[in-house]
A = this chain, B = another copy of it.
Amino acid sequence: MTAAIAIADASGLAAVSMRAVAARLETGAASLYRYLSSRDDLLDLMADRVAAELRPYPEPDGDWLDTLVRMARAQRAVHERHPWLFELSQRASAIGPEALAFFDACLKVMAPVEAPFAAKFEAIGMMNGVAILFARKRTAGESLTFVGLDVTPYPYLLAAFSEPVSAPPATDLFERALRSLLRGLLTPDGA
């Protein structure tokens, strides 16, 4: 449901209650159960709907690693656009056709790679994980709050805070990390 996604984008996953979605649709909460079997169903649909934003998949031209990196970048973008997707990705639920299509597209890109399916499977999982990891880093930012905590027992932390803040280092770590990880996973030699 587009309405549910709009609510989640605006106010987070917790705000996606059946009553809230129904209200946005100007109907009653019970009516939703004519189309959905449960709230979990709704969440699955949301995840799959948003997975469609990964399209169109890049054509596997040139290096397969380049193509995979481009796909991972798309994944990261989607996760930045919809931060609540992270919460969904951890639920053990049925994966939808869009997610499966993306999976298939990854396999297609990896077709020229000589590696067992298990390795490719793991590689896709890692790619997904790294994409989420970096998306969260940007989303959450430096929102660490040492609320009311005395930092004096932590000398190194204290010293670090007294250092003048410098420019963020961040050359494109995302791409480098992903490349070395995938290469390590899919090619016989080490990284």
Contact = CB atoms under 8 A, between A and B. Distances in A.
The residue in A120, A165, A168, A181 that gathers the most chain B C-beta atoms within 10 A of its C-beta is A181
A1 interface: no
B125 A137 contact: yes
Nearest to A107: B156
Contacts of A159: 107
Interface string A91-132: 010110100110111011001000111111110011001100
The residue in A108, A146, A160, A163 that gathers the most chain B C-beta atoms within 10 A of its C-beta is A160
Contact of A104 (B125, B143, B155): B155
A117 to B, nearest CB: 4
Main secondary structure of the interface of A (DSSP, over half): helix
B169 A185 contact: yes
B118 A154 contact: no
Contacts of A107: 156-157, 159-160
A154 B191 contact: no
Contact of A163 (B117, B129, B144): B117
B163 A116 contact: yes
A173 B130 CA distance: 14
Nearest to A103: B157
Contacts of A146: 94-95, 100
A173 B156 contact: no
Interface of A: 86-87, 90, 92, 94-95, 97, 100-101, 103-105, 107-108, 111, 115-122, 125-126, 129-130, 133, 136-137, 140, 142-147, 149, 151, 153-157, 159-161, 163, 165-166, 168-170, 173, 176-177, 180-181, 184-185, 190-191
5 contacts: A87-B90, A100-B146, A100-B154, A129-B133, A191-B191
